[in-house]
């Protein structure tokens, strides 16, 4: 099976991993889950994380075909527009992004938000094939954390978004609008049906208790053997009971309100108002 080159860029402020996946034969590449830096205290954005990706692509003479989002992130702002401006490529996400747009349009009163996913250059169907140079990729719909979650299977590697974490940390929450613990179980089993030596790349790591270093690469075999939430010894019913119980005790991500407003628009910031300043909303006392 083809083996893509995978370079990881970890943003400790949001615990997010951005990947550059490239074809050794042609130098064509995809950027997965890029980050736009954001300081919520000051409201300032910066591109230091994305600039590391840009430098890597440029230094290695790569050409970007795709900018791939695994889902509408609730914990960081997407750097996709900046990456596209600097490096080119088509911004893409799973087609069920429309359900996420519909769910949050009224909450933020985004009257100008079109909910057909047209902010992205391409919407992927479940099972759709794509290429990066000579590398073959396939999209696997993996809803449960959100309706739009997808996994990108590229050669011997799969990029799972928030669906799974490292084996010692477990699985994604399912209490966002459109989330579902039974769906998440089924989605994870689809990932774990890939060949055992498939390299799995996480979108986040938070250092599990007792682990001193960040980690984001594992394998199907390792997850099936030792994932603390969903190893092969855990039934669907046991997983759902555990996941729903844990979710009921979780607080909201720190950047969920700014992140969603930006990421629903494929990473585009709101238009400036008549004073030439952009604003993000904080809905008060909503469910």
Q: Each residue of 185-203: pLDDT tens digit?
A: 999 999 999 999 999 999 9
Arithmetic mean of pLDDT, 48-77: 98
Arithmetic mean of pLDDT, 143-163: 97
Instruction: Show the domains of the chain with their CATH numbers.
Output: 5-262 (3.60.15.10)
The model's confidence at residue 286, banded by pLDDT at 50, 70 and 90, is confident
HSE at residue 66, side-chain half, CA atoms within 13 A, is 27
* pTM of this prediction exceeds 0.95: yes
Q: What percent of the chain has pLDDT over 90?
A: 99
Alpha carbon distance 198, 176 (integer Å): 29
Query: Per-residue pLDDT for 287 more than 70?
Result: no
Q: 48 phi and psi, to 5 degrees?
A: -60, -40
**Strands of 35-39's sheet, edge to edge?**
44-46, 35-39, 77-78
């Amino acid at each position: 099976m083809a083996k893509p080159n995978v370079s990881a860029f970890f943003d400790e402020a949001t615990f997010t991993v951005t990947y550059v996946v490239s074809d050794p034969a042609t130098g064509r590449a995809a950027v997965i889950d890029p980050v736009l830096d954001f300081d919520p205290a000051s409201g300032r954005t910066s591109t230091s994380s994305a600039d590391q990706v840009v430098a890597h692509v440029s230094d290695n003479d790569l050409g970007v075909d795709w900018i791939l989002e695994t889902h509408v992130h609730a914990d960081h702002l997407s750097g996709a527009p900046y990456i596209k401006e600097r490096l080119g490529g088509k911004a893409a996400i799973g087609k069920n992004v429309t359900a996420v747009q519909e769910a949050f349009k009224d909450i933020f009163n985004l009257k100008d938000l079109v909910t057909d996913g047209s902010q992205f250059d391409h919407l992927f169907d479940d099972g759709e094939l794509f290429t990066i140079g000579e590398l073959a990729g396939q999209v696997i719909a993996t809803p449960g954390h959100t309706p739009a979650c997808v996994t990108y299977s590229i050669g011997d590697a799969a990029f799972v978004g928030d669906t799974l974490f490292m084996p010692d940390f477990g699985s994604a929450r399912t209490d966002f609008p459109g989330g579902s613990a039974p769906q998440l179980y089924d989605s994870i089993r689809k990932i774990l049906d890939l060949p055992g030596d498939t390299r799995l790349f996480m979108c986040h790591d938070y250092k599990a208790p007792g682990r001193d270093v960040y980690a984001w690469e594992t394998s199907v075999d390792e997850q099936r053997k030792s994932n603390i939430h969903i190893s092969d010894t855990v039934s669907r019913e046991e997983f759902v009971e555990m996941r729903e119980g844990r979710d009921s005790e979780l607080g909201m991500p720190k950047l969920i309100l700014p992140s969603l407003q930006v990421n629903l628009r494929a990473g585009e910031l709101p238009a400036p108002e008549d004073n030439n300043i952009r604003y993000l909303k904080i809905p008060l006392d909503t469910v």
